[in-house]
Amino acid sequence: KPVARVQVVATHRATRSVAKKRHALRGSGVAPRVALSFPNRTSLAVQGGRTSPRVDVRARAADEKAEKLVGVDVGGTFTDVVYTDTATGLTLTHKVPTTPDNPSRGVMNGILELCERFGIDKGEITRVLHGTTTATNAILEQDGCTVGMITTEGYRDVVHIGRHQRPENYSIMQEVPWQDRILVKRRNRLTVSERIAPPNGEVLEPLDEEAVRVAAREFKRKGINAIAICFLFSYLNPEHEQRAAQIVKEEYPDAFITTSAGVSPMFREFERFTTALINTYIGPKVANYVDQLETGLANAGVGGDLHVMASNGGACTPLMVNEKPVLTVLSGPAAGILGAKWIGELSGTNNLITFDVGGTSADIGIITEGQYEMANARETEIAGYPLMVPQIDIHTIGAGGGSIAYKDAGGAFKVGPRSAGAVPGPACYSRGGTEPTVTDANVVLGRLVPDNFLGGEMSLDLEASKVAVSKLADELGLSMEECAEGIITIANANMANAVSSRTVQKGIDPREYALVAFGGGGSMQAAEVAGMLNISKVLVPPYPGLLSAAGLLVSDLKYDTSRTEFQTNDSVDVSKINKDFLNMEDELSGQLQKDGVDKKDALFTRFGDLRYAGQGYELGVSFPLGEITEATMHNIWEEFHKAHELEFGHCFRDSKIELVNIKLSAVGTTEKIQEPTYPEGTQSSLSTCKSLFRVNGKMESFEATIYDRWSIPVDTPLDGPAIICQKDTTTLVPPGCTFTNFANGCIEIDTSSLCGVEAEEDTASVKDFDPVTAAVIRGELENIAIEMGYKLERMAYSSIIRESRDFGTALVSANGDQLAESKQSTPLQSGPIPGYIRGIRKIMEERGEIFEEGDVIMHNDPYGGASHGPDIGFIVPVFYEGNLVGFSGCTAHHLDIGSLTPGSCGIVEAVDAYAEGLQFKAIKVISRGKKNIPVWHMLEDNIRTSDMVKGDMEAQIAAAQQGAQKFQDLMAKWGTETVEGSYGDLLSYSERVMRQAIASVPDGEYSATTYIDGYQYSDDPQYKDLPLCVTIRIKGDEMEVDLTGTAKQLDKPINMPFTGTVDCAIWLTIRSILLDSKIHGFIPQNTGLINPIKIYAPPGCLANPIFPAPTIARFCPGNQLADTVMKALAQAVPEKVSAGIGNLKVISFSGARPEDPSQYWVHMEIFEGAYGGRNGMDGMDAIDTLYANTRNNPIEDIESHLPLRVNKYELREDAAAPGQWRGGLGSVREFTYLADGGASVEGEGHIYKPWGFDGGADGETASLQLESDGSREDMYSKMPYNPAKAGSKFTAIGPAGGGYGNPLLRDPAKVLDDVEDEYITAAAAKEQYGVVLVGSKDEGYSVDHSATSKLRAKRGVGLSRRPSKTTGGRTNY
């Protein structure tokens, strides 16, 4: 009789029955057959529970379409192999170690060993389907090839600047992937003259074919054989890219060539170009791997064709993989989703949440009505790079069996994302690991059976787990068992929050879905995670650890393509849509025909990406096959309204709808793995063990029944607690749950008893508040704020919100403490929200008004907590059981608030607050759930672009209301006293880590002064050259920031509101320096962080103006104040700061709409600055700085919707501030007006250079130029609305950050890189850095090390790199 350590391999019925028939053949006389793989590799066949000689199943194959398939999935530790015969249903599995040096060797070993072990004729295999990590690993490990790029003249640095947003809000020392791990060096980005333009891809400038030839020859000379061709608007007209590719092929036949439209024919140039570069970067490596595997299979006598799983859930041929390897980046996880979909079909469940948990991470996917969700193209990335190709929507979090639990510096109980990995692994693996992990916690709690791990092939060290967990328990003041249970609870909560975030973002109620658990750890955690999500059913596949390999065997051939349309419902061109769909169908049919699938046998599916005109995110809507008519489009518009309402809770039926992209999928169906049947289990259990679970808030010990997976009776409901053992995983069934094993091998766990458990209200034991509950509630609060931000960004109309992300969302307690904020927020927006609420409260108290349930309050008073007038906040008071328990708030910058001139920036001549636009002081736009209609009429009548502004406001309200509802749900789940009790832990944690950080800084006084331009065009000296003074006093764990000496307030709007701008600028800069998230990890942004910091600014100065002084243009002075704070702190913590930043600039373009002069168009753009050099790192180039963190707008979006043309967007050359670590570079952007319009500007930094530090040179100032009628005018940093005629050119030259450290100490190799990348000249290398280069630009340079050493010695290279830290007293900088 089989024992626990036996690996069971199931057969499958020859017919592919649906789930409803899964029990029909039981008792039919057809005995299930099972092959058993023993450790000694002896193979037996079992029939009806009796051992018998093995039957040659191949003789039974009769179906001429039947296939013998092999699926092979390569993981980090093991390579999984699944074989199936679709005629007989025989299915076999095998595992071999992965061979990282050459994964194809592991694949070959797995296939050949399986065939040898089970007597399979390898020559009769008809198809090998492969899930590969080769592409992924090449990106993650930076192991691609050297890339060359040919791009449109004027746009050389699009892939370096990116979207100008920093990856992290609160970090000076962070990495910017597309700059620090650049896919193509600037020296290898060559430009050619050509230009395509919207809306229809017309040619503005022909392709310079000779320039392409010259570029191809240059790459060939350098030996660069991977070349990407990336032209603007090629998605509208790919002819220039295609012709350039032909020319390169003529000149360089051996080159691997990618065109951006060929790999991703959709708008957004940075994302498309980067996708093309990734394809090029990994292309030769992936092609070599696939060729090697294909050849190896053939040479080994393995029959059949090789197909590789693509990220879109379809298999593709080696030919396609070699052309577009980027399609395979999510190859393995995509196969897991297919496998989960198959399990759902077997179980009769169409709505699934997939839950793939490994050692270091968990992958989450969604399947609705039997269809997996596809990712939004603009939301997908890998290793920090955007990746705009069709792929299944899979969300990965850092939580798995190896996730390490620890107490952080602030005393918080945390689990992950750091992992013990496979080596050393959890402590119980006895491989050297000593830190407690999720796996160790399960061992301590008796939820894993130490002598039956991996089917008994590995034993776990219980004592080692106890030692690891006990050490952490002592630190936390918990018992060992409480600590272990806390580890599990926190890990599960992290996973549940991730699932909740993904489902809420898609308008999906997880309660209507089943959870499919797979991977090595999914079935251990799934039941409790499901309970947290109120999911009542968990499905566990027969082989959870092998599901990705099995998923390969249910894949079809599948290809996707798309076209960008930019058509609106008031002027749709159905003939173009039909033409594009037909061309796309021909394209995909041709690909399938190469795979042997006739067009008549292909299955086509059409989709469209739609949005309300002005929004930045699209929703997918199905399109019918056949001819598209006006009536068809009417139905599609209606479906979009419904989809928008489903996902966001609102639709805007009066708004114009835009069709952004049309998409086509083509599927060639193939034979697949069949539904399995497994033998009747006859053994009720193996044994029992003591296991600990928390029930009704108390830890209890239970006798858990231990089962062998293959001995469980079929169709017999069994009670938990239970531990189900098998070779590839362990399944946990908690107390109160039941489970059933079905004939097809699936286990279904009923988790109803864990769902819908609300807190009892006699939570008098708040004094016993534990760190586990604190960690879980903290995670749920953060998740609510993130969901709010997601909703606002997706629904917003204006580019300043949905593209630039100039918005904030936060949750605030009833007494005004910030609890959590959205990570998508720019810090300057989320930080002031508590101030908004304080201001609202004060005004309402003065009026005698009260908060009522159902209220939504609008507020933008800069003297009542708002940051400035355009940043309008919408606040929802949250009530639970009749009591005010908190606030849900959103702020966002609006394009217009009815001020002096179009737009809401550059209002630089406002004389008082009343001249800045409409003032909303605690206005109830919704009162007790009823809309205040007159307020909305007022908005319509007094704001330019009112439709867009109102749409943004509606998005804010929807996000705030969602946050309020989730806040109420949290109260219902935990109880008011428990949730409010958690606030103390949350706030004290943040305060504690801030105090520790301040205490690490030497006591003393540190002062700095910088100057801002002010109004240089004024004849009155009081308006220009204005000082910002900062003195920081540190004593122990407290800090005082004194702004005495700062210039007096003006009757011009560069005054900074003390609450909402000045306080946030200071707090956020201090936390970014002292608690840098790159170094310290995630620390919640809340009121606790600011408690140790006191700020003083004299009333009546720029930093504390008195009403009604204007403040609308406070943005750039505020960022300069933040830079001054960093300048002061540089004396105390020089290793934590950057040199001076190049400040930002805000420009508002506007004009009358050409099609309707009675209406305005307004476009606001935040122009990037640059960071100074940092200790060990150069400055970040062309990026948002300090207290802001917004994004730019894609050129292809601007030109498609506005009468503007972007002529140039590149880095500034010969402006890098010298230093041991040079300053970051600014950008150069040039616009041309295509119709009469104008612009207004607010900025700083035209007069005063960013400061250099520790011997580094000062940076470079910014400038503006307007060229019209043949004359060019230099503009000041502030410019009131300035009309411009069609044809006028507007050029913004960004600042460059300061240098850090003695330039003579810069690594000569880095200087050489800067010369070769044309950031500096060879002459500058010698003059500024003392680096002597030999050679030429054409032939290449090299460092003359001897001459360099002599020159540097002559100049005094021995100088100290940095002065010693100040240890006390007064220091001025």
Shortest CA distance to 893 belongs to which of 841, 955, 942, 843? 955
Q: How confident is the model at residue 330 (pLDDT cuts 50, 70, 90)?
A: confident
Shortest CA distance to 1016 belongs to which of 1296, 1279, 1281? 1279
Amino acid symbol at 944:
R
- What is the overall mean pLDDT for the chain? 88
User: What does the DSSP assignment read for 1298-1326?
Assistant: PPBS-GGGS-HHHHHHHHHTTSS-HHHHH
Q: What is the pLDDT of residue 762?
A: 41
Using the predicted structure, report yes or no on whether residue 3 has a pLDDT greater than 60: no
The residue written with tokens 């629904």 in the block is: 795
Q: In this predicted model, what pLDDT tens digit does every residue of 690-715 receive, in sequence order?
A: 999 988 878 899 999 999 988 898 99
The residue written with tokens 């929802």 in the block is: 876
What residues does 665 pair with on adjacent strands?
560, 605
Provide the b/e sequence for 1046-1058 (b: ≥16 CB within 10 Å).
bbebbebbbbbbb
Q: In this predicted model, what pLDDT tens digit does every residue of 1171-1221 receive, in sequence order?
A: 999 999 999 999 999 888 888 999 999 999 899 999 999 999 999 999 999
Q: What's the whole-number mean pLDDT along residues 385-404?
A: 88
Handedness of CA 164, 168, 169, 175 (dihedral sign): negative
Shortest CA distance to 1277 belongs to which of 994, 1054, 1019? 1054
Provide the b/e sequence for 858-887 (b: ≥16 CB within 10 Å).
bbbbbbbbbbbbbbbbbbbbbbbeeeebbb
Higher pLDDT pick, 256 / 503: 256
Q: In this predicted model, what pLDDT tens digit does every residue of 863-908 receive, in sequence order?
A: 999 999 999 999 999 999 999 999 999 999 998 898 888 888 889 9
CA distance 812 to 816: 6
Distances (CA, A) of 556 to 310, 338, 722: 10, 10, 37
Q: In this predicted model, what pLDDT tens digit does every residue of 244-289 receive, in sequence order?
A: 999 999 999 999 999 999 999 988 999 999 999 999 999 999 999 9
Q: How big is the chain by its Cα radius of gyration, in Å?
A: 32
Q: How confident is the model at residue 817 (pLDDT cuts 50, 70, 90)?
A: very high
CA distance 713 to 537: 19
C-beta atoms surrounding 1154 within 10 Å: 13
Q: How confident is the model at residue 675 (pLDDT cuts 50, 70, 90)?
A: confident
Using the predicted structure, report yes or no on whether residue 308 has a pLDDT greater than 90: yes
The residue written with tokens 């830079």 in the block is: 1123
Q: What is the pLDDT of residue 683?
A: 62
Which phi and psi angles does 935 have, rounded to 5°? Answer: -60, -45
Higher pLDDT pick, 732 / 396: 732
CB 463 within 8 A of CB 385: no
CA distance 127 to 366: 28
Work out the end-to-end distance of the chain between its first and last CA atoms, rounded to an integer number of angstroms: 82
Task: Please report which helix (H) or strand (E) contains residue 1343, including its range.
Answer: strand 1340-1343
Shortest CA distance to 252 belongs to which of 228, 220, 287, 284? 220
Q: What is the pLDDT of residue 767?
A: 41
* pLDDT-wise least confident of 593-597, 628-632, 1097-1101, 1323-1327: 593-597
CB 1280 within 8 A of CB 1054: no
CA distance 556 to 1035: 67
Q: What is the pLDDT of residue 1081?
A: 85
In terms of Cβ atoms closer than 10 Å to its own Cβ (0-12, 13-18, 19+), residue 477 is: exposed
Using the predicted structure, report yes or no on whether residue 1122 has a pLDDT greater than 80: yes
What is the 8-class DSSP label of residue 1221?
B
Using the predicted structure, report yes or no on whether residue 47 has a pLDDT greater than 70: no
For residue 392, how far is the Cα from the chain centroid? Answer: 15
Using the predicted structure, report yes or no on whether residue 1 has a pLDDT greater than 50: no
Using the predicted structure, report yes or no on whether residue 788 has a pLDDT greater than 60: yes
Q: Number of C-alpha atoms within 13 angstroms, CB side, residue 397?
A: 23
The residue written with tokens 């409901």 in the block is: 717
What is the 8-class DSSP label of residue 1077?
H
Using the predicted structure, report yes or no on whether residue 217 has a pLDDT greater than 50: yes
**Alpha-carbon dihedral 397, 399, 404, 409, rounded to 10 degrees:** 40
Which phi and psi angles does 270 have, rounded to 5°? Answer: -60, -45
Using the predicted structure, report yes or no on whether residue 935 has a pLDDT greater than 60: yes
Q: How confident is the model at residue 757 (pLDDT cuts 50, 70, 90)?
A: low
Q: What's the whole-number mean pLDDT along residues 1300-1324?
A: 96
Q: What is the pLDDT of residue 4?
A: 26
Using the predicted structure, report yes or no on whether residue 828 has a pLDDT greater than 90: no
CB 188 within 8 A of CB 148: yes
Quickly list H helices, 300-314.
none
Using the predicted structure, report yes or no on whether residue 1015 has a pLDDT greater than 70: yes
Q: What is the pLDDT of residue 1190?
A: 87
Q: What is the pLDDT of residue 830?
A: 85
Higher pLDDT pick, 497 / 1323: 1323
CA distance 289 to 107: 11
* pLDDT-wise least confident of 44-48, 514-518, 1270-1274: 44-48
Using the predicted structure, report yes or no on whether residue 28 has a pLDDT greater than 80: no
Shortest CA distance to 197 belongs to which of 1289, 1199, 1248? 1199
What is the 8-class DSSP label of residue 1170?
B
Using the predicted structure, report yes or no on whether residue 5 has a pLDDT greater than 60: no
- The pair of structure tokens assigned to 797 is 């109309």
Q: Which residues contact 1097 (CB under 8 A, 6 or more apart)?
A: 1043, 1044, 1046, 1058, 1062, 1103, 1104
CA distance 600 to 602: 6
Largest interatomic CA distance in the chain: 104
Quickly list H helices, 897-1029.
933-942, 946-974, 976-999
CA distance 381 to 974: 35
Q: In this predicted model, what pLDDT tens digit does every residue of 965-1007 receive, in sequence order?
A: 999 999 998 899 999 989 988 899 899 999 999 999 999 999 9
Phi-psi region for residue 1083, left (φ > 0), alpha (ψ -120 to 50) or beta?
Answer: beta
Q: What's the whole-number mean pLDDT along residues 357-373?
A: 88
CA distance 899 to 901: 6
Using the predicted structure, report yes or no on whether residue 117 has a pLDDT greater than 70: yes
Shortest CA distance to 257 belongs to which of 242, 245, 265? 245
Q: What is the pLDDT of residue 375?
A: 81
Distances (CA, A) of 44 to 38, 709, 1058: 9, 19, 80
CA distance 821 to 833: 10
Q: What is the pLDDT of residue 805?
A: 86
Q: What's the whole-number mean pLDDT along residues 1352-1369?
A: 53
Q: What is the pLDDT of residue 77?
A: 72
Q: What is the pLDDT of residue 520?
A: 85
CA distance 1050 to 1062: 16
Q: Which residues contact 1187 (CB under 8 A, 6 or more apart)?
A: 827, 828, 831, 1064, 1065, 1068, 1069, 1118, 1119, 1122
Q: What is the pLDDT of residue 25?
A: 26
CA distance 197 to 1144: 29
In terms of Cβ atoms closer than 10 Å to its own Cβ (0-12, 13-18, 19+), residue 1070 is: buried
CB 610 within 8 A of CB 660: yes
CB 280 within 8 A of CB 228: yes
What is the 8-class DSSP label of residue 995?
H
Q: What is the pLDDT of residue 64?
A: 54
CA distance 171 to 498: 24
Q: What's the whole-number mean pLDDT along residues 1215-1242?
A: 96
Q: What is the pLDDT of residue 489?
A: 92
CA distance 1287 to 491: 59
226-230 and 256-259 beta bridge pairing: parallel
Q: What's the whole-number mean pLDDT along residues 1138-1160?
A: 90
Amino acid symbol at 555:
S
Higher pLDDT pick, 491 / 771: 491
Q: In this predicted model, what pLDDT tens digit does every residue of 639-664 receive, in sequence order?
A: 999 988 887 777 888 888 999 999 99
Prediction pTM value: 0.88
CB 600 within 8 A of CB 666: no
Task: Please report which helix (H) or strand (E) contains residue 203, including its range.
Answer: strand 202-205
Range among 276-280, 329-333, 430-434, 1082-1086 with highest mean pLDDT value:
276-280
Q: What is the pLDDT of residue 35?
A: 35
Q: What is the pLDDT of residue 1371?
A: 32
Q: In this predicted model, what pLDDT tens digit does every residue of 137-195 receive, in sequence order?
A: 889 888 999 999 999 999 999 999 999 999 999 999 999 999 999 999 999 999 999 99
pLDDT over 70 percentage in the chain: 92
